[in-house]
Amino acid sequence: MKQGIFTVCTNEEIADKVYRMTLSGDVSDITAWGQFVNIKLDGCYLRRPISVCDTSCGMLTIIYKVVGDGTEKMAQIPFRSKLDLLTGLGNGYNTAVSGDKPLLIGGGVGVPPMYGLAKQLREEGKDVTVILGFNSQKDVFYEEQFKKLGCKVFVATADGSYGEKGFVTDVLPMVGDYTYFYTCGPEPMLKAVYNATTTEGQFSFEERMGCGFGACMGCSCKTKYGNKRICKDGPVLYKEEIIW
């Protein structure tokens, strides 16, 4: 974990209430996709944890959705503002076990960490398939970015206004064979993915956090191997250890 001051370079809306922010600063402590940063905001007692989307060219890219006071404040942050960030938090995904044809499944704001992961897997020569799940067409983002990486991309919307109608699990039969999977999204989606997938995989969990680095124990959960802290021992957990 490292604390640093970052400068906001862009902060733009890319889908309905979904914003992409790019920041310049020291990203050296971000060593695995699936890790997150914790952002200090004026007027907020607790920092806001946000997944890392990309770190290309020394720039940090995060994507967040406006759902409360903290993210509403983030959406109003102007160009060249300075932000205090804790970086390198969490354990990230392990790509060594992916096999040749990994499947990535992201739902809503669980999509961003899938992007950096897809980049790494493609650089490792893997044949990557991606399923992106959203509520509606107005919520869809990053489909083209995944395609530019050379991924095969499926999009599902719950209302059928774009792509395939239904949930990410409804698209699974269209994918064909895959050797391993990685997923991030809301817990109901993760549970459905757990029940629908046929291989081992890794899950990134979203959880309310106090400190973000394992001190307060506020985000502890039970696993088959004992209690784990989502912020420190996660957010990525293996399928074999999860208890629903």
DSSP assignment string, 51-92:
EEEE-GGGEEEEEEE--SHHHHHHHTPPTT-EEEEEEEES--
Question: Are 144 and 63 in a shared domain?
Answer: no
Running DSSP on this structure, what letter comes out for residue 120?
H
Same domain, 167 and 232: yes
Q: What pLDDT is stored for residue 234 in this prediction?
A: 66
Query: Is 95 within a domain?
Result: no
Are 80 and 8 contained in the same domain? yes
* pLDDT band at residue 180 using 50, 70 and 90 as cut-offs: very high
102 upstream amide cis, omega within 30 of 0: no
Range of the domain at 10: 2-89
- Number of structural domains, the chain? 2
What are the structure tokens assigned to 190, written together? 């993760």
* Weakest mean pLDDT among 101-115, 203-217, 219-233: 203-217
Q: pLDDT digit string (tens) for 17-32?
A: 999 999 999 999 999 9
pLDDT at 221 exceeding the cut of 90: no
Handedness of CA 84, 90, 96, 102 (dihedral sign): negative
Q: Which residue do the tokens 């096999």 mark?
A: 99
CB atoms within 10 A of CB 195: 9
Q: Does some domain include residue 168?
A: yes
* Token couple for 140: 């869809």
| Sheet of 236-238, strands arranged across | 164-165, 152-157, 129-134, 102-107, 180-184, 201-204, 236-238
Has residue 44 got a pLDDT over 80? Answer: yes
- Looking at the fold, whether 137 and 204 belong to one and the same domain comes out as yes
Shared-domain flag, residues 123 and 234: yes
End-to-end CA distance of the chain: 29
Q: Of the candidates 89, 118, 134, which is a domain's last residue?
A: 89
SS3 127: coil
Give domain status of residue 164, yes or no: yes
Residue after which a domain boundary falls, among 89, 118, 142: 89
Q: What pLDDT is recorded for position 223? A: 83
Examine the domain organization and report whether 169 and 131 are in the same domain.
Answer: yes
Q: Are residues 106 and 215 in the same domain?
A: yes
- Domain check: are 217 and 191 in the same one? yes
Q: Which of 53-62, 70-79, 187-196, 216-225 has the lowest mean pLDDT?
A: 216-225
pLDDT digits (tens, 9 = 90+) for 109-166: 999 999 999 999 999 999 999 999 999 999 999 999 999 999 999 999 999 999 999 9
Q: CA–CA separation, 70 vs 47, rounded Å?
A: 9
**Confidence grade of residue 229 (pLDDT, cut at 50, 70, 90):** confident
Tokens of 51: 């997944």
Query: Maximum distance among all alpha carbons in the chain?
Result: 49
Q: Do 146 and 31 sit in the same domain of this protein?
A: no
Judge whether 119 lies within some domain. yes
User: Looking at residue 110, what is its pLDDT?
Assistant: 96
CB atoms within 10 A of CB 153: 19
Among residues 61, 89, 117, which one ends one of the domains?
89
Nearest to 202 by CA among 125, 131, 105: 105
In a domain, 8, yes or no: yes
DSSP structural state of residue 97:
T
Lowest model confidence (mean pLDDT) among 7-21, 95-109, 175-189, 199-213: 199-213
